[in-house]
Amino acid sequence: MRLAVELHLAAIVLAAPSSLKDICGWPSLAPGGLFGPPTVRLAQRMLGYALGDPYAVADGNFTSATVAAIEQFQKMANISANVSTPGHLNAGTWPKLVDACLTAPLAESSQLIEAAQDALTFNGFAAPVTGHLDAQTVQALSAFQQARGASEQPPGSADAATWHLLATGCQSGADGGHFWFDAGWPQGNMSVESLSCMREHGFEFATFECWVESSGHAGKFWSGCPQNIANAHAAGFARVGAYMYPGRNGDPTEQTRWLLGNLSEHSVDFEAVMLDVEGGDWAQHSHEENRAFMLAIKIVPLMIVAIQSVLEQAGVRYTVYSGRSWPTYFGDTFTAFKDAPLIYAHYDLVPSFYDAVAAPMYGGWEGYVGKQFWDGQGAEYQLCGTGALDWDWSPKPYW
């Protein structure tokens, strides 16, 4: 799926993943990017240490001074422009910055201790920012390393892997969360063999586009959807979702009736409908018009379930895939979908919510349940002959 927000991709080059739970890129800090103050503060303190500036400001604001510090470090580390854009802190620069922060033990730098304490607290392991490697900090650091799958370190020590996990919030190994993918109609028919291969790689859930977007029109039911969902079940996926990309210029009631009617006619066994809310057509309508459109979609499936028993369960479950454009489409007070699980996209190859604090929540939601963290670009991420699929992550199952 394509999300109409600013996306800043990290220049990540990794080998084909042996396990999804070992995948973790780097935050991409660049003007207009999707990241929050905690990530900026970490970078500012690490840059201050690497550049020998103990008085570097670490206020979490990505300013021209931060860009200048990144550029200065890149020059010092001989990082060429074709490896990392000057002034952008991404996968081409982070590893060198971490290396520069490993030249002395953590205990010898109050600046790095503060960086670790702040990052530990942001990751849920409380360590007040004092600049002193006290017992609470040592305990929090050890607990973080153990919980996130870092290799065992001497007490109060941080290796490159620890700094990586502090920067990204990733979780390695068995506790690395849960992964799924969603496939649009361009992927075509997906075989049982390909889907079995995807499951063996660690994907636990799959969502297939069933109502196809069509700019300027109502969209249509994609005929390949029922077979793909059936093949996913045959491949061992216990739960499979259907996603609807509603055509904004069509009638919402009729589109939803057609979607659920076709799913029922083909006896499709699906867990939930994911509403994909994005695209330029929404911006052409008022908040009131868009709200009425979405409410019509929300009401119709529940009615059809009650009358026609389309699904065995008592109602049709919903998830919403949308981003920061939501308030642009619907305004700040539209909260009708706040109880539906919310998924956002940021294609940074980082399966974590480190970037969820980048902007205020919207639509009455208090947080996200999942993140679409990669769009399948790069041959090493196109597994099982499926082509480019969107990869998604959640810290715990929501389906």
In sequence order, what DSSP letters do the residues of 282-318 get, joined into one string? Answer: GGGS-HHHHHHHHHHHHHHHHHHHHHH--SSSSS--E
Length of the chain equals 399
Please give the pLDDT value at position 310.
29
Same domain membership, residue 127 and residue 208: no
Instruction: State how far the Cα of 142 lies from the Cα of 169, in Å rounded to an integer.
Output: 15
| Residue 240 contacts residue 271 (beta carbons within 8 Å) | yes
Structural domains of the chain, count: 2
Asked whether residue 373 is assigned to any structural domain, the reply reads yes
- DSSP tag of 349: S
Q: Name the domain boundary from 136, 169, 202.
A: 169
Same domain membership, residue 186 and residue 134: no
Asked whether residue 92 is assigned to any structural domain, the reply reads yes
Parallel, antiparallel, or unpaired: how do β-strands 273-276 and 220-221 relate?
A: unpaired
Between the alpha carbon of residue 357 and those of residues 43, 62, 353, 362, the distances in Å are: 16, 14, 8, 12
Domain range holding 130? 26-169
Asked whether residue 1 is assigned to any structural domain, the reply reads no
Between the alpha carbon of residue 38 and those of residues 120, 255, 282, 321, the distances in Å are: 10, 43, 33, 25
Residue 83 burial (CB < 10 Å; 0-12/13-18/19+)? Answer: middle
Same domain membership, residue 268 and residue 158: no
Q: With H, G, I as helix, E, B as strand and everything else as coil, classify residue 240.
A: strand
Asked whether residue 376 is assigned to any structural domain, the reply reads yes
Same domain membership, residue 302 and residue 211: yes
Same domain membership, residue 207 and residue 145: no
* Chain CA centroid to CA 304, Å: 32
Instruction: State how far the Cα of 150 lies from the Cα of 154, in Å rounded to an integer.
Output: 12
Q: Name the domain boundary from 144, 169, 194.
A: 169
Instruction: State how far the Cα of 174 lies from the Cα of 153, in Å rounded to an integer.
Output: 19
Residue type, 205: F
Same domain membership, residue 229 and residue 296: yes
Same domain membership, residue 120 and residue 190: no
Same domain membership, residue 260 and residue 157: no
Which tokens belong to 144?
């973080």
Same domain membership, residue 46 and residue 74: yes
Asked whether residue 121 is assigned to any structural domain, the reply reads yes
Same domain membership, residue 359 and residue 269: yes
Q: Which residues contact 124 (CB under 8 A, 6 or more apart)?
A: none
Could you list the pLDDT tens digit for every one of the 399 residues in the chain?
433 222 223 333 334 555 787 889 999 999 989 999 999 999 999 999 999 999 999 999 999 999 999 999 999 999 998 788 999 999 999 999 999 999 999 999 999 999 999 999 999 999 999 999 999 999 999 999 999 988 889 999 999 999 999 999 998 766 788 999 999 888 889 999 999 999 999 999 999 999 997 755 678 899 999 999 999 999 999 999 999 988 888 888 788 888 988 999 999 999 888 989 888 788 999 999 988 888 787 776 554 332 223 223 335 677 889 888 899 999 999 898 898 899 999 999 999 999 999 888 999 999 999 999 999 888 888 899 888 899 999 999 887
Which tokens belong to 217?
């029109």
Instruction: State how far the Cα of 185 lies from the Cα of 236, in Å rounded to an integer.
Output: 21
Same domain membership, residue 295 and residue 198: yes
Please give the pLDDT value at position 171.
85
- Largest Cα separation within the chain, whole Å, is 70
Asked whether residue 51 is assigned to any structural domain, the reply reads yes
Q: What are phi and psi of 92, to 5 degrees?
A: -80, -15
Please give the pLDDT value at position 4.
29
Asked whether residue 308 is assigned to any structural domain, the reply reads yes
Which tokens belong to 57?
């400001």
Q: Name the domain boundary from 154, 169, 184.
A: 169
Asked whether residue 280 is assigned to any structural domain, the reply reads yes
Parallel, antiparallel, or unpaired: how do β-strands 240-244 and 220-221 relate?
A: unpaired
